[in-house]
A and B are shown apart, each in its own frame.
Chain A
């Protein structure tokens, strides 16, 4: 070992600025993407789930709800885009929880980097998961007979909005991921959150047959609003201004509450 190795390097000290946050977050996101590449089985939830849901619900509910599977798919698949996005967003909390309990973050926290970069980076890396999930879903749905009846631009917009929603919604999972002690506990809590959001919506069935209180929730649920946006952008081409504004409001609110809450808890809880 030479002394030169020990003294050679030193990059100039930099202040933590917004540009640094972006740069550090991308370095951390690179880590996340590498991890997905090394463990492709991490993608099982976004590859198997869409297929499972399409087959199960498409054929079980299809006839009962819409008369036929083909007709049901046209209503169900856009909503399923939202549901898959939500389920994909849950894994962010699990990997964060693992990182925290293994002490991987200790090093990052003692380094002169933007303090939220490890979290932001992990979320950005999840972009890959959403793209894969939605891709598998739309691809397999096409095989079953689902048809996008609008234009490619609208389709792209739909995918972008769904991913944006995932990136906002996942901060709930991130927050809980920091709070709980084990990934096991996390899974239970996540289910309790995801179920009311996804099933208490118009994704699977129309809200008309629900009791008033549930229908009321379902009307304002971000999942229903987004499902309407998806239907507009993918299938019927109708006016989506109302649901879109509602969805954006939800995203803003989720980010405004859970992003700072998570960062603060992260810096504290580890401290």
Chain B
């Protein structure tokens, strides 16, 4: 059974189709990542699945329950950590946890015990007695996630859990996610960082303008855009146009002009033709400062999927 299954999931704000017919089949267990740029519809999708937003079209089943008709049953088994820490900043870390535990039916002593336990597990024991408004961004994120697992959910939604965090805090959050998954929770995580999806996710859905434009394992997504990427930097930026034409013809692929005015990159189907293409540049008197041929990063996958229309989705 799937943890989450959606068919034609749609949300319309006025004229804007924020989520436009999203089909997802998310297996139970592991991390599933929804990847997309700002405004792609990630948060809206998550909010519908977490019963915070009514569904405008299509349907969604979470842990076997329809989100529209059985929202109460869904809420009993999910937890959500929103994009902006949904904590009471005036209260201390302990008080936030105790409040949530009390609302979930814990007795006073059991709530205290659970709060202490979670603070310890998240490395916040010392900060527990301080108001959350004095916390750093990383600490806030951790207490926010701790709050979400007061009752361990079967399914945890994490909406951009590491946006704005420094690398160390980001790694801590990743460790927490891995620990949760190994304990059996399914995690649905949105992110704009490909590295994050690559590191954590078992499967990824790339979403742009409210539509799923690609879906698969990180490896599948990478191979779907070609066997590798050739990056070339020229000595003379003036010649970039000519170089793009030559490379495009030689490799039979679309050439991407990078932000560096002397650089271009091309997705390559067959690595064997690369030396010849580079030689052609040299014959034409275009001199190369440096070049590299590598497996595509998810960044390149992402750009090729969302960035230009001439490269249809895989």
Contacts and interface: CB of A to CB of B under 8 A. Distances in A.
Interface of A: 1-3, 5-16, 24, 27-28, 30-31, 34-35, 38-39, 102-113, 117, 270-271
Contacts of A27: 99, 102-103
A216 B228 CA distance: 84
Contacts of A9: 106, 114, 150-152
B38 interface: no
A8 B148 CA distance: 14
A113 B76 CA distance: 9
**Residue with the greatest number of chain A CB neighbours at <10 A, chosen from B72, B104, B114, B147:** B104
B179 interface: yes
B72 to A, nearest CB: 6
Given A38-B91, A107-B147, A5 B54 contact: no
Contacts, number: 110
A101 B308 CA distance: 36
25 contacts: A1-B179, A3-B179, A3-B183, A7-B183, A8-B117, A8-B152, A9-B106, A11-B104, A27-B99, A27-B102, A27-B103, A31-B88, A31-B99, A34-B95, A103-B82, A103-B85, A103-B86, A104-B86, A104-B87, A104-B88, A106-B86, A110-B75, A110-B79, A113-B103, A113-B104
Interface in B182-205: 182-185
Contact of A106 (B52, B90, B100): B52
Contact of B86 (A2, A24, A107): A107
Contacts of B148: 107
Contacts of A6: 121, 149, 152, 179-180, 183, 185
Contacts of B118: 5
Contact of A112 (B72, B86, B91, B184): B72
B291 interface: no
B143 to A, nearest CB: 12
B52 A102 contact: no
B184 A7 contact: yes
B105 interface: yes
Contacts of B120: 5
Given A6-B179, A6-B180, A27-B99, A112 B90 contact: no
B50 interface: yes
A240 B91 CA distance: 44
Interface of B: 50-54, 72, 75-76, 78-80, 82, 84-91, 95, 99-100, 102-106, 114, 117-118, 120-122, 131, 147-152, 175-176, 179-180, 182-185
Contacts of A11: 104-106, 151
B76 A13 contact: yes
Given A6-B183, A34-B90, A111-B104, 18 more contacts: A1-B175, A1-B179, A3-B179, A3-B182, A5-B121, A8-B114, A8-B152, A9-B152, A11-B105, A12-B105, A30-B102, A34-B91, A35-B88, A106-B86, A107-B86, A110-B78, A112-B72, A112-B76
A259 to B, nearest CB: 21
Contacts of B82: 103, 106-107
Given A1-B121, A108-B103, A112-B76, A38 B131 contact: yes
B176 A1 contact: yes
Given A6-B180, A31-B91, A103 B117 contact: no
Nearest to B85: A103
A9 B102 CA distance: 13
A201 B214 CA distance: 66
A35 B79 CA distance: 25
A28 B78 CA distance: 21
A164 to B, nearest CB: 26
Contacts of B151: 9-11
Contacts of A105: 86
Nearest to A7: B183
A117 to B, nearest CB: 8
B91 A271 contact: no
Contacts of B106: 9, 11
A54 B120 CA distance: 52
B72 A271 contact: no
Contacts of A12: 105
A110 B117 contact: no
Contact of A7 (B75, B152, B175): B152
Nearest to B117: A5
B123 to A, nearest CB: 8
B170 to A, nearest CB: 16
From B76, B103, B120, B185, residue with most partner A Cβ within 10 Å: B103
Contacts of B75: 110-112
Given A7-B184, A9-B114, A113-B103, A270 B179 contact: no
A38 B90 contact: yes
Nearest to A117: B103
A106 B159 CA distance: 12
A111 B183 contact: no
B266 to A, nearest CB: 43
A14 B75 CA distance: 11
B121 to A, nearest CB: 4
Nearest to A37: B90
A12 B77 CA distance: 11
Contacts of B76: 13, 112
A15 B53 CA distance: 21
Contact of B152 (A10, A38, A102, A111): A10
